[in-house]
Amino acid sequence: MSSIKKFKVFRFDPEKDKSYHFAEYEVPVVAGMTVLDGLNYIQEKFDGNLAYRSSCREGVCGSCAMHINGKYRLACEVQLAELGGLVTIRPMAHLDIIKDLYVDMTPFWQKYKAVKPYLIPGDPDPQSGERIQTQDERKNLDKVVDCILCGLCYASCAVNGYDEKYLGPAALAKANRFFMDSRDKADEERLSLVAGEHGAMRCHTMFNCQEVCPKELDPTANIANLKRNLVASQMSVKFTKKGV
């Protein structure tokens, strides 16, 4: 048995349109269909020009991040059955629109790269080829290590809306991920990268990032740890590191 759902989809082609509009489509829905399946149906049956990103279809790649009925979510993870009769879809905020739901992630990646998202061990590679962590040291990274870089937290954070240089929750959480890593020895450099008016202290603890994370990670707590350590460094207090 299928039912019909109405999709209202944000459409905008900067090369042709003066402003955006919403296009409406009626999609037959069967059990198990996701919002991404609905978009695929629209693209196949009604308009092959509809632009959006997707890849894995199972919440791993983070490509299909968008705004669905008032919340930032991954389209492949939202069952149509859990939504009402109308499905309204908008692109992620704070990023330029390339076309329709397809946004330019360049600022997101620039900020991500700016925090040096890789291990800086400060000594030559060990002969064994491995840098060992204890289980507790690894567990300390649980609340941040599974980030899939979908950008939902970035879009949901209001600070990114009025400070385009703000590093944002994903980059800051990643900075803390390496700051807390027992194998990393670049504490001062890492804190200097997130200091300043567009860094961790710019976060107003709004919790939107924590609420929308599809992996149930906690960017807010990670940023709070950076804040604590920034204050400690100003007061020449020993870094606490473990705080998430």
Which residues make up the interface to ligand F3S (CB under 6 A)?
A: 156-157, 159, 169, 203-209, 219-220, 223
Residue placing its CB nearer to ligand F3S in the complex, 51 or 221: 221
CB of 154 to ligand F3S, least distance (A): 9
What per-residue string of b and e applies to 189-215 under the rule 16 or more CB within 10 Å gives b?
Answer: ebbebbeeebbbebbeeeebbbebbbb
Return d(Cα 225, Cα 179) in angstroms, integer.
Answer: 10
CB of 211 to ligand F3S, least distance (A): 8
Residue placing its CB nearer to ligand F3S in the complex, 54 or 220: 220
CB of 16 to ligand F3S, least distance (A): 34
Residue placing its CB nearer to ligand F3S in the complex, 102 or 207: 207
CB of 222 to ligand F3S, least distance (A): 9
Residue placing its CB nearer to ligand F3S in the complex, 99 or 202: 202
CB of 40 to ligand F3S, least distance (A): 30
In this structure, the chain runs to a length of 244
Helix (H) or strand (E) holding 25, with range, is: strand 21-29
Residue placing its CB nearer to ligand F3S in the complex, 40 or 220: 220
| CA proximity to 62, closest of 213, 230, 238 | 213
Return d(Cα 90, Cα 20) in angstroms, integer.
Answer: 11
Would you tell me how many other CB atoms lie within 10 Å of the CB of residue 74? 28
- The alpha-helical segments, DSSP class H, found in the chain are 35-45, 106-114, 135-139, 142-145, 152-156, 159-162, 169-179, 187-194, 208-212, 219-234
